[in-house]
Amino acid sequence: MLRQQGDMTYVAASGTARIQHADTREVFEIDADELDFEAIGADERSMGPEIHHQAELEHPELGTLTWGLWEYPVGIENMTETEIGRHTILEDIEYGLRHEPDEDEPPKDDEPDLPALRRQLPAQIDALDQILGQFADLQPRIGHN
């Protein structure tokens, strides 16, 4: 995991990859829980570092399998790539860059302030009544030139 600019950035993976062996045609399943993504390198570019995250798995029948994700600029998922050699991927694991708020920051309250909304409601209803009253006054004139 990388800590950057007030949040935690990490690669999250879910699901199951189904990979068909090139010679035997046998289908193997790789669960996302078997992958451990690590930042394995970074190259400096014009907008800062490009970070390469990778999970590598040695499978007894399929050989070396890798799942890669590039983050560039920092905090933005740029590209993903799954390398399985000569084999055929029937279904891939879903993986991507995720962000979590910094533990030092208080959580953002996504719940509306219902008491405040209730206090505003009578004034909003009065304003709506006034607008509707203006339309009612115009109604007899609609359609007459």
Residue 70 has pLDDT above 80, yes or no: yes
Helix (H) or strand (E) holding 81: strand 77-83
Collect all residues with Cβ–Cβ distance below 8 Å to 88 and sequence separation of at least 6: 19, 20, 22
Q: What is the pLDDT of residue 39?
A: 94
Separation in Å, CA 114 to CA 56, 107, 125: 49, 18, 16
Rounded Cα gap, residues 32 and 4, in angstroms: 25
Q: What is the pLDDT of residue 4?
A: 40
Residue 22 has pLDDT above 60, yes or no: yes
Two tokens at 43?
């190259």
User: For the chain, which residues make up each domain, given as ranges?
Assistant: 2-101
Pairing of strands 48-59, 38-45: antiparallel
Q: What is the pLDDT of residue 16?
A: 98
Q: What angle do CA 58, 64, 70 make, to 5 degrees?
A: 110
Give pLDDT tens digits for 87-119. 999 999 999 999 886 666 555 666 778 888 888
% the chain with pLDDT above 70: 82
**Reported pTM:** 0.65
